[in-house]
A and B are shown apart, each in its own frame.
Chain A
Amino acid sequence: MTELVGAEVVIKALNDQSVDHVFGYPGGAVLPLYDELFKNNNAPQHILVRHEQGAVHAAEGYARSTGKPGVVIVTSGPGATNAITGLTDAMMDSVPIVCLTGQVPTHLIGTDAFQEADTIGITRACTKHNWLVKDPNDLARAIHEAFHVATSGRPGPVVVDIPKDIQFADAKYVPPAELKYENYKPQVKPNIANIEEAIELMGNAKRPVFYTGGGVINSGPEASHLLKELVLLTGFPVTSTLMGLGAFPSSDKNWLGMLGMHGTYEANLAMNECDLLINVGARFDDRVTGRLEAFSPLSKKIHVDIDPSSINKTVPVDVPIVADCAYALESMLMLWKSKGHKVDTKDWFDKINEWRKKNSLDFKNSTKLIKPQFAVQRLYELTKDKDVFITTEVGQHQMWAAQHYHFNEPNRWMTSGGLGTMGYGFPAAIGVQVAHPKSLVIDIAGEASILMNIQELSTAIQHKLPVKIFILNNQYMGMVRQWQELLHGGRYSHSYTHSLPDFVKLAEAYGAQGIRAEKPGELDKKIIQMIDSDLPVIFDCVVDQNENCYPMIPAGAAHNEMLLGEKEDDHEVSDEGKVLI
C-alpha cells in the first residue's frame, strides 16, 4: 500500500483500470483532481467538453464503439445535475459509464453549501449504483468497485461522488487485484437444462425467428460471431432491435431488417406469425412489441438476458436463460451441433419472401426535392466501404438512418434507444472519434436535435476531431409533426423549427466547414466533399418537409396492423393508443 493524496489515488486507479481518455469539465469541487490531470504525466488524456451532458454522451459513444467503459469527470452541483440526462440515457441503453463527481467537503455536506447538490440522491434512480466517499481510505476501493459494477453483468452508469477534502487528504491506495467483489457477481453462464429445452424447441420449430438486441453487442464481438454461426447452422431468419443493429450482417440472406414501430414489414410479420421466438439480448421494449396482448400470439418464447429482472417483465416466456449472450450462444451452438438437428425452413422463407415483396422501406423519390431516405441511401453508398461509424440524434432522421444505412459489424452504430435523447448523437460522435481518430464518424442529425448540443462543435475543433454532422433539415421536429398529423388533426403545435441558424455560417463561426445541399443532383458531389474534409463539417441537407416515416405500427396497434405509407386511409388510432408515447 502506498500513501498518496486522494486526487493521486483517483489517477492511479484510472491507470490501473487502463483508462486512456476522460471526458470532463472543471469546477471548484474537482480542482484538486484537475490539478493532478495537469501535473501527472500518467494522467489519462482529458477531453474538455462544453456542457456536462456532452461529456456523458461522448463517453457513451466512446464506450459503445470500443466495448471499454467511458469515464467522465464533472464538478459538484450544476456539473452533476447537467450530467443527469447522459446518465439516464446510459442506464436505459446499458452503457458502461464511470462518472466521477466532485462534492462539497464532507463537513459542509447537508448545509446547502455553494454548489452542493444531493448527487447520490439525485442519481440513485439513473445509475446502476453510486458511492459517496467519506473516508479517503475507501476511495480506491470505491473507484475499482465502480468499474467492476459498470462493466459486469448488464452494463450501466455508476457515480462516485468525491468530496473536495477527500481529494486533498492522505489516502491509501489499493490496486484492483487486492479487492474481492463479494456483493456483485452476476450470472454469466447459462443453466444447461434451459439450453437443452431451447434447443429442443428450436429443433422442432416450423416458423422460428431470432429477435436480437443490444445485449449481443454488449457481450462483445465474439457474441456477434457466434450469432452468425448459429444462424448459418440453423438457417433461421433474424431480426434485430434498433440497439442491436450490426450484431448480424445486414447483407446476409437471413436478415429481415429491423423490427418494431418503424421496422420492416417482413420483420414484424415474422414476429407476428412465428411459432418460436428466440430473443437474444433484447428486452421486449414497447417500441418492439406494439400492443402486448397481440404480440407474437402463436409463438413459444426463449429469452436470453443477463439481467434476470428483464425476463418475464412484460412478456411471459417459456424458456428463460439468464446468461451473457456469448456464453448462451456458445452453448446453444454446441448442443445444436451435437444433436444434429435440421429444420426445414423453406415454407417459412416462402412466406417471408412474399412479405419482402411489399418493399416496405420503399418511398417515392423526387428529382426536385431531396427525400430524406434518398439522402441516407446516398450517404450509405458513398461511405459503406470506408471505416465508418454512425451516430444519430432522435426523430425521423434516426429511423431513416436505421432503415437505410446498413451495418455488417457490431459497435458501428450508436443511437439513443431507450431514452430517445435529442442531443445524443453529436457528442456521442465526438467520443467515437476520440477512440477512433482515423475513422470516418458521422452523426445523422435533425435540425432540431443538433441545436441541443451544438456547443460541442467547439470541443471537436479544439481536439481536432473531424466529426461530420449530416443534418436532414426538414424544418420541423419531424417526428412530432408526424404524430400531430396522424393523431392530432394536423394541428402542428410548436413543432415548426422557427428561426434556425444558417448552418453553413454556424459551422464557419466555430472554425468548422459548412456545406449545404438543396437538390438531389448535387448530393453525391457534396457528400464526397464532406468525406474528404479534414475538418468537422456541418452538412445542411435540405430535405422534403412533409415526408413521413413509414412503415409504422401506430401506438397501441399490433404487428400485423402496420401502416405502409400515406395511401392508407385507416389511420384511426384507438383512445388507448393515443395515451401511449
Chain B
Amino acid sequence: MIKIKKEETESHTISILVDNEAGALARVIGLFSGRGYNIESLSVAEIDQDKHKSRITIVTNGSMMTINKIKSQLERLIPVHSVNDLTSEGPSIEREMALIKVVCSKSDKEEVIRLSEVYRAKTVDTTQDSFIFELTGNIEKINSFVDLLRPLGLEDISRTGLAAVTRGSK
C-alpha cells in the first residue's frame, strides 16, 4: 500500500507588488496551481494608478520550506516587484470585509440582530424577512460570525479576501 504523506503546514499571508499588466495575476495564481500550492484567500487591486502597480494579497499554507519556496518562485516572475511574507516578517494588520445575507423567521430575528450587535456588523439592507450585514475583521472573526448565522437562515455571502499591511513605521 502506498501512503500519501502529509506535511505539517501553517497559514501565511503573502503580499505581492506587481505591475498592473495583462496576465500578471494569471502568472501569480498559475504558479500556485502549477506547483500545487494552496490559495485560501486572494485579493487584488491597483494601488498606484500612475505607476500601474497592483497589490495581490494571498493567504496560503504550507511548511516553512514551502512558504519560502513560494516566496522565491514569486520573486522570479518578471512583473513581480516585491514579495513579503507578512506572517514571518512580524506584526501586521489584516482585514477582510464580508457582505452576509440572512433570511430568517420572525422568531429568529431577535437573535440575528443581537449577534450582529455583538460582532458590530453594519446593517446595510433590511426587509421584512431579510438582512444584509457588512462585517469587517480578520478571517477568524468573519468565520465565527458566519458560523453562528448558519442555523439562523444564512442565505448568501460574499467576501473580499484579505487585505494586509505591516504594523509600525517600516
Chain A residues near B (Cβ < 8 Å) = 120-121, 124-125, 128-129, 132, 149, 183-184, 307-309, 311-313, 316, 575-576, 578-579
Contact = CB atoms under 8 A, between A and B. Distances in A.
Given A124-B27, A183-B81, A576-B2, A316 B65 contact: yes
B69 A309 contact: yes
Contacts of A132: 22-23
A149 B77 CA distance: 11
A391 B75 CA distance: 34
Given A183-B81, A575-B2, A579-B2, A307 B23 contact: no
Contacts of B144: none
B76 interface: yes
A121 B34 CA distance: 13
B68 A312 contact: yes
Contacts of A316: 65
A129 B65 contact: no
Contacts of A576: 2
A132 B23 CA distance: 10
Contacts of A313: 69
B72 interface: yes
A325 to B, nearest CB: 18
A312 B78 contact: no
Contact of B65 (A125, A184, A307, A312): A312
Most buried by B among A120, A132, A309: A309
Contact of B1 (A125, A149, A307, A575): A575
| 10 pairs of A and B residues whose beta carbons are closest in the complex | A309-B72, A129-B78, A309-B73, A308-B72, A309-B76, A575-B2, A125-B34, A184-B78, A124-B30, A183-B78
B75 A309 contact: yes
Contacts of A149: 78
A576 B1 CA distance: 9
A351 B81 CA distance: 49
Interface in B10-48: 19, 22-23, 26-27, 30, 34
Contact of A125 (B19, B22, B30, B73): B30
B17 to A, nearest CB: 12
A210 B75 CA distance: 28
A120 B23 contact: yes
Nearest to B68: A312
Contacts of B23: 120, 124, 132
A312 B76 CA distance: 15
Nearest to B78: A129
Nearest to B30: A124
B79 interface: yes
A11 B7 CA distance: 52
A120 B21 CA distance: 13
B19 A183 contact: yes
Interface of B: 1-2, 19, 22-23, 26-27, 30, 34, 65, 68-69, 72-73, 75-79, 81
A576 B75 CA distance: 33
A110 to B, nearest CB: 12
Given A124-B27, A307-B76, 13 more contacts: A120-B23, A124-B23, A125-B30, A125-B34, A128-B78, A129-B77, A183-B79, A184-B78, A308-B75, A308-B76, A316-B65, A575-B2, A576-B2
A311 B76 CA distance: 13
Nearest to A183: B78
Contacts of A307: 76
Nearest to A149: B78
Nearest to A322: B72
A307 B75 CA distance: 10
Contacts of B65: 312, 316
A269 B26 CA distance: 44
Given A120-B23, A124-B23, A307-B76, A312 B69 contact: yes
A579 B81 CA distance: 38
A229 B16 CA distance: 42
Contacts of A129: 77-78
A258 to B, nearest CB: 27
Most buried by A among B19, B26, B72: B72
B163 to A, nearest CB: 25
Contacts of A579: 2
Contacts of B2: 575-576, 578-579
A429 B55 CA distance: 46
Contacts of B26: 121, 124
Contacts of B69: 309, 312-313
Nearest to A309: B72
Contacts of B27: 124
A359 to B, nearest CB: 36
A309 B69 CA distance: 6
Contacts of A120: 23
Nearest to A126: B34
Contacts of B73: 309
Contacts of A311: 72
Nearest to B76: A309
12 contacts: A124-B23, A124-B27, A128-B78, A129-B78, A132-B23, A149-B78, A183-B19, A183-B78, A184-B78, A313-B69, A575-B1, A578-B2
Contacts of A578: 2
Contacts of B1: 575
Contacts of B75: 308-309
Most buried by A among B26, B69, B75: B69
Nearest to A154: B76
Nearest to B33: A125
Nearest to B73: A309
A579 B76 CA distance: 30
Nearest to B22: A132
Nearest to A128: B78
Contacts of A184: 78
